[in-house]
Structure formats: structure tokens, C-alpha cells
Chain A
Amino acid sequence: MQIKITDDSGTTAKVVLNGKLDIAGAEAIALPLATLSGGKRGVLIDMTGVSFIASIGIRHLVSASKALMRRGGRLVLLNPNPMVTDVLATSGVIELMTVARSEAEAAAALQPQA
């Protein structure tokens, strides 16, 4: 699992993940994701390159989402593949985050709610 923080300059951050979000991948994202979700208002995770996810990876997404939501923020997932999306839906966590299918949709989801 590779994690790359591509934009950390404003109140929101963008992260790109590549690889498997399995037990080993989850270890790799745990600290950076917790740090960002503790300090930003919104976090966008580009999931296009995530080929696999299991509950241990979901756990870190949920923790990040809850940390952001406590401060009125949002976790946005960009383009998870259909199988990864199905895992998120089946495990019952998809309502805790926004799934966006384009950069524009993701940007809109990160805007503060009126």
C-alpha cells in the first residue's frame, strides 16, 4: 500500500492510495490518516488505485470519518472500484462517508454545508 498526500495546504487534504487496504495496508495508512482527520475539516481520499479492502482497512476510514464529522467535516472517497464500494456498502459504513465519482463531485462534497 502506498499513501501519498498530494494537497495538505488548506483546510482540506487530498490523499491518494494505491494497493491493497488489507491488514498490512491498513498499518501503512493508520497514522497519516489519523493525523489529517484530526486537523483538517475535510479529507478527500482518491481510492481509484485501491484494489482490495477488508474490515481492518474500513476501520481506519470510519475512524477518520468520525473524527471529521465531530467537527462538522466530511470524508470523501473518490472513485472506489465497484467491488471496494460493495464491501463498504455491505459492511454498513458507506453512509458515514461520501462516495464521489468525479473531482468536481468530490470538491462539492467537501464544501461546508450551508
Chain B
Amino acid sequence: MLAEAAAAETKAYIATPDHTSDIDTWIESVGAKWRLPEDVVFRARVCVAEIAANLMEHGRARPDGDEISVTLRPAAPDIEVEISDNGCEFDPTTPAAVTLATDTFGGRGLRLLHAYASAMSYRREGGRNVLALRVGPKARDAAQRGP
């Protein structure tokens, strides 16, 4: 466990489309370095992309872009992801967010987030949204969630 904690990697960036693409490439490379399953890393990348897109489209608090920080922690075969941003307060884990996810055009990202994260928790801390996710292999998620 200590070894896993020591291996955590963090990157912070301004929420712009280009920086979001760079962060995606970084997650991909960290996942490959830790030899995590490609589909697990892919699903984690989708989760981060959705939170960043949501911030840019709906949660923007600063005209020149808010700051996002992503921390990755290996928990093979899972990956733990913490996404922190200084945008407007938004808790994607609430029932209201789930309703949005199933009912609206722009809610597809939240639907993906809820489907791909096997565990998810949110807190507002020091003016920042902090979302902690755990993403694992698809087959196990399906077994845990049932039919």
C-alpha cells in the first residue's frame, strides 16, 4: 500500500481543450508505465474528460479558464483518480446529477461517469470541487452491479 501511495502522480492544468488533450495523453502514459489494463485506463480517461468538459461548458468560474488538478494512484488492476477544480460548485454524485445524466442531451458525460466509476465520492474543500473515483475492469463492474 505504501508503495502504491508513493507512486501517485499529479498534474495541474488550465481547463482549455488543448490542455485537456495533453492531460489525456499524460494519463495514457502513466497508465502504460504502471502496466494497468488498457480498458481501465481508457475508462479513467473518459471520466476525466467528462469532468473537464462539464467544467468548461457549465461550471466555469473564470473567463480565462479554471484550474484542474488530476491525481492518479495505481490500485491494480484498478486506478484511483482524484479530480480537483476551482470552478463553480458541482457535485456529480447527487441524485439530481443522475437525473440529468439520464434525461438530457448534455448529460451523456455524467451517464458515462456513473457507469465507468465503480466508486465515487465528492467534497467541496477550500473553494474547490474534489471528486474521488475508482475505475476498474468492466467485467467486474458488471458482476458487482448485477443484471
What A residues does B105 contact at CB under 8 A? 59, 62
What A residues does B115 contact at CB under 8 A? 90
What A residues does B90 contact at CB under 8 A? none
A23-B52, A55-B50 as given contacts; A90 in contact with B21, CB under 8 Å = no
Contact of A55 among B38, B43, B109 (CB under 8 A): B109
Residue pair A90, B18 in contact (C-beta under 8 Å): no
Q: What's the dominant secondary structure at chain B's contact region?
A: helix
Contact of B21 among A20, A58, A62, A82 (CB under 8 A): A20
Residue pair B45, A52 in contact (C-beta under 8 Å): yes
With both beta carbons as reference points, the residue of chain A lying nearest to B116 in the complex is identified as A90
With both beta carbons as reference points, the residue of chain A lying nearest to B39 in the complex is identified as A83
Say yes or no for A50: interface residue by CB 8 A criterion: no
Residue pair A22, B108 in contact (C-beta under 8 Å): no
A24-B18, A56-B53, A90-B116 as given contacts; A83 in contact with B42, CB under 8 Å = yes
What B residues does A7 contact at CB under 8 A? none
Residue pair A93, B20 in contact (C-beta under 8 Å): no
Residue pair B39, A54 in contact (C-beta under 8 Å): no
Q: How many residues of chain A get a CB closer than 8 Å to chain B's CBs?
A: 21
Residue pair B138, A22 in contact (C-beta under 8 Å): no
What A residues does B98 contact at CB under 8 A? none
Residue pair A23, B112 in contact (C-beta under 8 Å): no
Say yes or no for B17: interface residue by CB 8 A criterion: yes
Bound complex: CA A29 to CA B56 (Å): 19
Q: Which residues of chain B from 50 to 79 have a CB within 8 Å of any chain A CB?
A: 50, 52-53, 56
Bound complex: CA A55 to CA B46 (Å): 8
Min Cβ gap B40→A in Å is 10
Residue pair A54, B109 in contact (C-beta under 8 Å): yes
Bound complex: CA A14 to CA B145 (Å): 39
What B residues does A59 contact at CB under 8 A? 105, 108
Residue pair B17, A27 in contact (C-beta under 8 Å): yes
Say yes or no for B89: interface residue by CB 8 A criterion: no
What A residues does B38 contact at CB under 8 A? 83
Residue pair A93, B24 in contact (C-beta under 8 Å): no
Min Cβ gap B100→A in Å is 12
